[in-house]
């Protein structure tokens, strides 16, 4: 596979880089059936489900989580 060079990527702000990553992820997930998760993902998900059931962690709405991430890294 040919490496893709994005000119001036180092000059992008963190917010721009995150937007680019989100756009790439959206493009990857258009056809979810072609996206295969590695086996270790199942282990992580199982551990997180156990932690959630035990009250050790909580979940957030994705939009709320993105807002919190943006605020924590001072993108906005």
Helix spans in the chain (H): 14-28, 39-53, 62-72
60 falls within a domain:
yes
What are the angstrom distances between the C-alpha of 27 and each of 20, 22, 34, 39? 11, 9, 12, 22
- Contacts of residue 69, defined as CB under 8 A and 6 or more positions apart, other chains included, come to 18
Q: Specify the number of domains making up the chain.
A: 1
7 falls within a domain:
no
67 falls within a domain:
yes
6 falls within a domain:
no
Segment 43-62, tens digit of pLDDT: 999 999 999 999 999 999 99
pTM, to two decimals: 0.45
With contact defined as beta carbons under 8 Å apart, do 75 and 15 qualify? yes
Collapsing DSSP to helix, strand or coil, 26 comes out as helix
For residue 21, the enclosing domain spans 12-30+37-72
20 falls within a domain:
yes
Segment 6-56, tens digit of pLDDT: 889 999 999 999 999 999 988 888 877 777 888 899 999 999 999 999 999
1 falls within a domain:
no
4 falls within a domain:
no
């Amino acid at each position: 596979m040919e490496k893709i060079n994005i000119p001036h990527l180092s000059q992008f702000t963190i917010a721009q880089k995150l937007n680019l990553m989100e756009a790439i992820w959206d493009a990857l997930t258009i056809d979810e059936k072609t996206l295969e998760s590695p086996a270790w993902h199942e282990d992580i998900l199982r551990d997180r489900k156990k932690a959630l059931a035990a009250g050790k962690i909580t979940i957030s709405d994705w939009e709320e989580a993105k807002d919190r991430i943006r605020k924590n890294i001072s993108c906005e």
